[in-house]
Amino acid sequence: MNTEKTQVIWLGTSQQIAKVGVDEIQLSSARVHVSTSVIDLGFSIDNQLSMSTHIASICRSCHFQLRQLRAVRRSLTTAAAKTLVHAFVGERIDYCNSLLSGVSDSLIQRLQLIQNAAARLVTGVRKFDHISSTLRDLHWLPVRQRITYKVALLVFKCLHGLAPSYLADDCIPVSTLAGRQQLRSADTGVLFVPRSRTSIGARSFAINGPTVWNKLPAELRSLNSSAETFAKRLKTHLMTNCYNCY
């Protein structure tokens, strides 16, 4: 076992973690100290699952990339700038963003400010100009809607045999449940939403996935097409809803 790559973390509320008096664990011949945050597949997980550590890391990385791109922006065409911003900033914001479902608005706002800065870099819009119309013209979904997009697309794949069974098993159509086939909702493609006693539990895919899916229009939920077609229709729906006031 490589102790330098082995991490241990306690997960829970601040009150629960405060009751744990174990600071290190004996694993084989090594002692591993308990961390307040760990990294799994490039995603930082803090011990309260607030995702604040991961978002702080994204913000630092994206600010650095934006500073580098500003230095060469005048030498780039708009199309080239858009491609580079997507590669160095957009991909970081989108990576594993379904895990950010249900996090606080203040944390999402930090990522939104990064996206706003990226849009200003691409288009040359001034710092204090309104940004919503710019995002719409770029055809960029805001951060919160990007998370919804990722979750809804994953549920679609679960329902159409395009996702692992451990995820698909969490997407249960109401029409398949005994005693619920006659409900009006059974004909609209809605999914069963389990109950949760905690806010963290409500953020799990088993609950958040069906919740996001059930909020989609019935015509989207009943769409029997390829994932690519669904993704396009889904993005159009989300774009229309989030920018309908402009």
pLDDT of 47-92, one tens digit each? 999 999 999 999 999 999 999 999 999 999 999 999 999 999 999 9
Task: Provide, rounded to the nearest whole percent, the portion of the chain with pLDDT above 70.
Answer: 93
Q: Identify the three-state secondary structure at position 92.
A: helix
172: its two tokens: 């249960």
- Of 47, 141, 152, 163, nearest in space to 94 by CA: 141
The pTM for the full model equals 0.88
Amino acid identity at 88: F
Residue range 112-139: mean pLDDT, rounded: 93
Residue 46: count of CB within 10 angstroms of its CB: 18
- Of 117, 114, 135, nearest in space to 126 by CA: 117
The whole-number pLDDT of residue 176 equals: 85
